[in-house]
Amino acid sequence: MKAITPNPGEEEKQMEIEAAVWNEWYPVAIMEDIADGRQYRTRILDRQITYGRDKDGVFSASLADGSATACRTQTCYHTYWVSLGEPAEGFFALPEFEEADRRVLGLGSVQIHASGLRVVENFLDMAHFPFVHSGLLGEVPNTDVKPYRVVHDKENDEIFAKDCSFYQPMAGAAAIGGIDAQYTYRVVRPLSSILYKTSVSDSSRRDVICLFSQPISEDWCVAHLLLACIDELNSDSELRLFQQTIVGQDLTILSNHLPRTLPLDQKFEVPTRADAMSAAYRRWLSDKGIAYGTYRTA
Ligand SMILES: [Fe+2]
């Protein structure tokens, strides 16, 4: 456990953060969203940090608590990552980012008044498509979530929802009609998840959408979204606009959902077959001893 001291001027509080959370890598920015020679400020786990690229394009980050202590950083999957602690060796594999014919781009970073865990859980949920993303990712009366498989890859400690399919009137920016979109969800870290979804341009391949959440505090996060897709038709701004429309719709429910943190105790929400991945995600977090960003009764 690591004791967090408050930032100057902040309300006096002392919070214990479990090692699994403290020693994790967290995203702070998508590569194209920052300029060389500028410093930016953000928060991770309630701590202020500054980050940026110098004039030579070298990225660094440090605590903004007066000590200017350097943080560990890495650049991976088009994203800058920072750790406040001592992260384990190795990082999850995402080979699609290396494929020559894929377009890799940031879809935007959005601050959300909800725990990053809550945002990942929403990302894994198909049942809301016809209601929240009506006309795009779903449509009434096609509201049934078909059975899918939840798989725990114990070797890499990742969880998957496989064989998911959902009828989507407009599955992506390139869509010109409805398709039965095939989905695979993959959770690689408590706050990092990846969606592999039928490519509208090439039905034999999957587009990759990444949700990397940055925990600002227990109930605020920044959702960084990235895309590695097969699409020769749409401009970057068209691809971003489509995804930002989806995110805007999710924001309305995420910002109004209480509690803002994620209950791990299954008794808080009624599990249904459609929620199998959500239930697996909560169990997986619970088994890791994750507390930060979860709902806890006094
Ligand atoms: Fe959504």
Closest CA to 133 of 103, 166, 155, 90: 166
Residues 150, 99, single domain; the answer is: yes
What is the average pLDDT value for the chain, to the nearest integer?
A: 91
Among the residue ranges 14-18, 139-143, 183-187, 237-241, the one predicted with the least confidence is 14-18
Look up the CATH number of the domain holding residue 28: 2.20.25.680
Give how many domains the chain has, as a whole number: 2
Ligand 1 centre to CA of 12 (Å) is: 36
Of the three residues 57, 91, 125, the one that is the final residue of a domain is 91
Ligand 1 centre to CA of 133 (Å) is: 7
| Burial class of residue 278 (count of CB atoms within 10 Å of its CB; 0-12, 13-18, 19+) | buried
| Burial class of residue 3 (count of CB atoms within 10 Å of its CB; 0-12, 13-18, 19+) | exposed
Residues 176, 293, single domain; the answer is: yes
d(CA 118, CA 6): 24
Beta strand 15-17 pairing with 26-30: unpaired
Cβ neighbours, 10 Å, residue 128: 17
Encode pLDDT of 50-81 as tens digits.
Answer: 999 999 999 999 999 999 999 999 999 999 99
Encode pLDDT of 255-266 as tens digits.
Answer: 998 999 999 987
Question: Amino acid identity, residue 161?
Answer: A
Signed CA dihedral, 118, 110, 211, 116: sign only: negative
Mean pLDDT of 36-59: 97
Of the three residues 73, 91, 109, the one that is the final residue of a domain is 91
Q: How confident is the model at residue 269 (pLDDT cuts 50, 70, 90)?
A: low
The residue range of the domain holding 249 is 93-298
Q: At 140, give phi and psi (nearest 5°).
A: -65, 135
The confidence score (pLDDT) of residue 1 equals 43
Residues 175, 107, single domain; the answer is: yes
Look up the CATH number of the domain holding residue 271: 3.90.380.10
Cβ neighbours, 10 Å, residue 238: 12
Asked if the model's pLDDT at residue 12 lies above 70, the reply is no
Ligand 1 centre to CA of 253 (Å) is: 9
Ligand 1 centre to CA of 82 (Å) is: 27
Residues 30, 161, single domain; the answer is: no
CB 266, CB 244: distance < 8 Å: no
The confidence score (pLDDT) of residue 212 equals 98
Ligand 1 centre to CA of 18 (Å) is: 29
* Angle of CA points 274, 134, 139, to nearest 5°: 65
Ligand 1 centre to CA of 127 (Å) is: 9
Ligand 1 centre to CA of 121 (Å) is: 10
Asked if the model's pLDDT at residue 4 lies above 50, the reply is no
Encode pLDDT of 273-290 as tens digits.
Answer: 778 999 999 999 999 999
Q: At 38, give phi and psi (nearest 5°).
A: -125, 145
Residues 33, 129, single domain; the answer is: no
Task: Kindly report whether the peptide bond that precedes residue 130 is cis, defined as omega within 30 degrees of 0.
Answer: no
Of the three residues 91, 113, 139, the one that is the final residue of a domain is 91
Encode pLDDT of 114-170 as tens digits.
Answer: 999 999 999 999 999 999 999 999 999 989 899 999 999 999 999 999 999 999 998
Ligand 1 is an ion; its neighbours by CB within 5 Å are: 250
CB 133, CB 242: distance < 8 Å: no
The confidence score (pLDDT) of residue 271 equals 62
The reported pTM is 0.92
The confidence score (pLDDT) of residue 10 equals 45
CB 36, CB 55: distance < 8 Å: yes
Ligand 1 centre to CA of 70 (Å) is: 36
Tokens representing residue 103 in the block: 């377009």
Ligand 1 centre to CA of 9 (Å) is: 37
Residues 263, 116, single domain; the answer is: yes
Residues 22, 155, single domain; the answer is: no
Provide the 8-state DSSP code for 123: H
Q: What percent of the chain has pLDDT over 90?
A: 78
Residues 75, 146, single domain; the answer is: no
Ligand 1 centre to CA of 122 (Å) is: 6
Residues 121, 232, single domain; the answer is: yes
Residues 114, 230, single domain; the answer is: yes
Residues 158, 64, single domain; the answer is: no
Among the residue ranges 115-124, 181-190, 264-273, the one predicted with the least confidence is 264-273
Asked if the model's pLDDT at residue 237 lies above 70, the reply is yes
d(CA 228, CA 103): 5
Ligand 1 centre to CA of 290 (Å) is: 24
